[in-house]
Amino acid sequence: MTYTACGPEAEARVAEDLHAIVAAVRDEAGSEDLGAVLLLGGYARGEGTVVRAPSGALRGFNDYDLLLVFRRSPPVPDRFTALAKDLARRLEIDFVDLGLAGPEDLRGAPPTLFWYELGEAHQVLWQAADMKLHLPRFRASDLEEAEGSRLLLNRGMALLWAALRLGDAETASPAAAETDRRFAVIASHKAILAAGDAALLASGDYSIHQEERLQRLRRDADLPAWAPRGFLDAYARAVAFRRHPEFPSPAESLELWAEACIHHEAGFARAEASRLHAAWTAWAGHRRLVLSRARRGALAGPRKAARALRRVLRRETWMEREELLFAEFPSLLYGSPDRFGKDAAVRGRAAALIHTWHP
């Protein structure tokens, strides 16, 4: 198996980490019907990287993405959520993401970017001897139209979280401030990548390999119609950052975050105009469109209406989680770089939305 292009020492470190994750997952699952553990994302494609800790030791960079496949319906995910956080701490990496799936999830998998990339590139880290994997396979042309918007929504929420953390960095301890700035830099580069990747998804020219996506964007005749000036250079820097992560100064980190917001906003506006089949002049207009569409969806049949009512009775919003995020995050994100450090009301709204997205 190949996880990185960084040489034998890096390969050994990542392999050791993944072995520890599999052992912990199997121990946590216990008598649960765990059938397989799959590696996803950049490390599964051999495009992961490593960084050196202050001690000089190598460690994985940013996150490990895994899917736990169960023979029957997967268990309640709370135990594995706690385990993921503990593993990230032990392995000195930002995140360990443990997705859970059962046979029905695999059989009924929708044509989304997650399932497409899983089919195109994954590595089986562990599989029960009697387990037969039947993973869904899709073509890029099969993907749902909304996938670009969903990708940008997730990267936009990370930018919003980065804004709060950059505000915290001004008063945090040096170690905490450095952690917050690193998070913001990673989120900024990912947001820039998402703007280009969403455009490629819309044109049916998407590739699972980052370098290939860069080359395709350079050939994209429609790029000047939506992309801000300097976008391709920013995208190329983000690709290079994924290979060789280098973190700028605090002031440069804030500038990068602001630049990422510009590119992300342009990409999100293009994707949402296509998804909603509508135009607006300000993000308040976009919010009204999303809310109107959500209301129609909530009343489209007794089951959806009942689910909306149950959410209200639980003192939650009547909207589905994704609809709430689509409606609320643009007006919170696309502002001045320092607003989250000074406006307590806006900061509170942003924190509540982030908790909805990433409890």
Cβ–Cβ < 8 Å for 195, 266: yes
**For residues 247 and 257, what is the distance between their CA atoms, to the nearest angstrom?**
12
Phi, psi for 38 (deg, rounded to 5): -110, 140
What pTM was computed for the model?
A: 0.91
Helix, strand, or coil (residue 74): coil
- What's the CATH number for 8-142? 3.30.460
pLDDT the model gives residue 312: 52
Question: Which tens digit of pLDDT belongs to each residue from 220-258?
Answer: 988 999 999 999 999 999 999 999 999 999 999 999 999
Residue ranges covered by each domain of the chain? 8-142, 147-357
pLDDT the model gives residue 68: 97
Question: Which tens digit of pLDDT belongs to each residue from 295-321?
Answer: 887 545 566 555 655 655 666 665 788
Q: How crowded is residue 108: how many other Cβ atoms within 10 Å of its Cβ?
A: 8
Cβ–Cβ < 8 Å for 150, 340: no
Split the chain (359 residues) into runs of 10 and give each run's mean pLDDT. Answer: 90 97 95 92 95 89 96 88 96 95 94 96 95 92 93 97 90 92 97 97 93 95 93 98 94 95 97 94 94 75 58 64 93 79 86 91
Beta-bridged to residue 127, according to DSSP, are 36
